Structure 1
C-alpha cells in the first residue's frame, strides 16, 4: 500500500489566500473610518480651543486679535502654539484656509 503524500492541495491554498484577502480588505476599510473620525475629532478640539482663546482675548482686551500671533505671544499666552488648521481675521472670525497655516496643501477642517 502506497503512503499518500502529505500537504495541502492547490485548491485549499487558494481558498485560504482568498479568505485572508477578504479579511485584509475589511480591516483596511474599518481602519480608514477610524482615521477619519480621529481627524474630525482633532479638528473639533482645535476649533473649540481657538474659539475659547479668541473670547478670552476679547474679554481681556475688549477687542478681537488682529492675527493669530496675538494669541500666542509670550506676554499673552492664550494659546501655547499656533493652531495647525485654523487662522483668524481681524474681526475674530475663524477661518480654515487651504493650504492650512501649518503648510499642508489640503485642510481637512471646516469652520
Structure 2
C-alpha cells in the first residue's frame, strides 16, 4: 500500500513565508509614506480653510480677529471647528502671529509618523512648506 502525503513540506512553508515577508517589506513603507502624504495634504487644506475664515473675517470687520476663538464663537461662525489646541489629522495648529493687521498660522506634525514637514500660511493666504 502507498501512503499518501497530505500537507506541505517544511521547505514549501519556508518559501511561502519568505515571499510574504518580502512583499510586506516592500508594501509597508509605501503604505506609511502614503499616510504621511495624506496627513500633510489634509494639514495644507486645513490651513487654507483657516486662512479663508480669517480673510472672510477681515472682509466683514476690516481687521483680523485678536484671537482664534472669535472664528468659532461668532454668529454665524467663520469656522465650524476649532483646530487650535488639539491634534487634528495628526497635526497641531497654532497661531504664532495673530494681530488685527496680520496673521501666521502654523501646522506641525504631532509625531514623525504623522508627517515630516510643517506648514505655515500667512496674511493673504500665502502657504509655505518648512
The structure where helix makes up a greater share of residues is 1
| Unpaired segments ≥5 residues, structure 1 | none
For this pair of structures, how many residues does the alignment match?
A: 107
- Partner residue of 1:59? 59
| Matched position secondary structure for 1:96 | strand
- Partners of 2:54 and 2:74 in 1: CA distance: 16
- Partners of 2:79 and 2:102 in 1: CA distance: 15
Q: Which structure has the higher relative contact order (CA within 8 Å, separation 6+)?
A: 2
1:75 deviation in Å? 1.9
The root-mean-square deviation of aligned C-alpha atoms, in Å, is 2.6
The structure where strand makes up a greater share of residues is 2
* TM-score normalised to structure 2 length: 0.68
* TM-score normalised to structure 1 length: 0.78
- Partners of 2:93 and 2:104 in 1: CA distance: 7
| Unpaired segments ≥5 residues, structure 2 | 121-130
- Partners of 1:30 and 1:68 in 2: CA distance: 36
Structure with higher Rg: it is 1
